[in-house]
Amino acid sequence: MKPLVNITTILAIVLLLIQPAFSQSALVENKCLECHAKITSKPIQHSPVTLNCGLCHVSNGKEHPVTDEEGFKLTKQVPDLCFSCHEQSSIMKEEVHPPLKEGDCLSCHDVHSSKNEHLVSSKTPALCYSCHNDLQTAVNESKVPHKALLEGNSCTSCHSPHSSAEKKILVKPQTELCLSCHNKEIKSGGRTLSNMKVLIERSKNVHGAIDNNGCSACHNPHASNNNYLLQKPFPTGNYSPVEKNTYDLCMECHEKSLYEDEKTTESTGFRNGENNLHFLHVKKDKGRTCLNCHNPHASNKLFLIAEKVKFGTWDMPINYNKLPKGGSCAPGCHGEKTYTR
């Protein structure tokens, strides 16, 4: 009688043959989490992790677990793996965030679980500051940070984290975006900011800077050391002496001769004969600032002349009227005066 084949030998051969199958089966049944539970311990979990690790990982046929040797590999490389579920065309528009363009999804997202929505590794603005540290420095050290950056969704209130049809990966065209918040009066620093949306939409004349370059032509959207988040200096209040940089912001577009030439026939239309009335109002120790007469955003009057301006707590009327060769005004600060060119 022939001896029986050693049972132990047979079992060893079978186990060797089916080892890869066991590994893959463990994936399907999510037995991975028996050892790797820590990666799913955070409250917000990536759906594939809770369903089937095999959607992203595949056994390489080697025994697992073995110290210092990977038993599994990704089914595809990132970002192609991510695009297997997340439709690429929906997040790849004209302006693409550099990490996404480089396929580096993992610079912002945890792949298994996270404490934060959308599986981001940390909340904004801290997440954005991990690359944009110059912006963090500006916000921390500037006198006037934009409150939108410090509240709510922070950076993603204005910027898409992936891509956009707009420059700077803005979520909307710039002016429309700004007016989506500035569509009401906003109290800030003891003063009230006007409802800009209503002002601009109801005014016949809008500042050309806004029409041509949007709000950022004058305002820094993140932080500034200047009043009103302005890109360059501009005085507050009704009075200011004219110093070297007093009107640097306005002089980005306008010529200094507008208020520096005492006599002129060309620098301004606001003159009585050759007497420059801008010079008369501005070029003195107690010079009147632009805001005494003009609204820098929009107005129903020509030359952006305001209908009313703040003088302390008083809404002072300007009462400007255009005349064929000049104009007249009767503001609260003096009686009616007429000028002619």
User: What is the mean pLDDT of the segment spanning 96-123?
Assistant: 94
Question: What's the whole-number average pLDDT of the chain?
Answer: 88
- pLDDT exceeds 80 at position 238: yes
* Within a domain: 336: yes
* Within a domain: 307: yes
Domain count, the chain: 2
Select from 120, 148, 182 the last residue of a domain.
120
- pLDDT exceeds 80 at position 16: no
46-60, 112-126, 244-258: which range is least confident on average? 46-60
- pLDDT exceeds 70 at position 54: yes
- pLDDT exceeds 70 at position 97: yes
Strands (E) across 273-330 are located at: 275-276, 298-299, 308-311, 314-317, 320-323, 326-329
- Both structure tokens of 237: 């209040």
Select from 120, 155, 178 the last residue of a domain.
120
pLDDT for 1: 46
Residue from 46, 32, 34 nearest 111 by CA:
46
* Within a domain: 181: no
pLDDT above 90 covers a percentage of the chain that reads 70
Select from 64, 93, 120 the last residue of a domain.
120
Q: Which domain holds residue 243?
A: 232-340
* Within a domain: 271: yes
pLDDT tens per residue, range 149-180: 999 999 999 999 999 999 999 999 999 999 99
User: What is the mean pLDDT of the segment spanning 272-285?
Assistant: 95
Confidence band of 22 (pLDDT split at 50, 70, 90): very low
Cα separations in angstroms, 72 against 58, 110, 165, 173: 5, 19, 39, 45
Any bridge partners for residue 96, and if so which?
A: 163
Confidence band of 9 (pLDDT split at 50, 70, 90): very low
* Single pTM value for the model: 0.83
Confidence band of 2 (pLDDT split at 50, 70, 90): very low
* Within a domain: 32: no
Cα 149 from chain centroid? 8
* Within a domain: 168: no
User: What is the mean pLDDT of the segment spanning 71-88?
Assistant: 91
* Within a domain: 45: yes
* Within a domain: 211: no
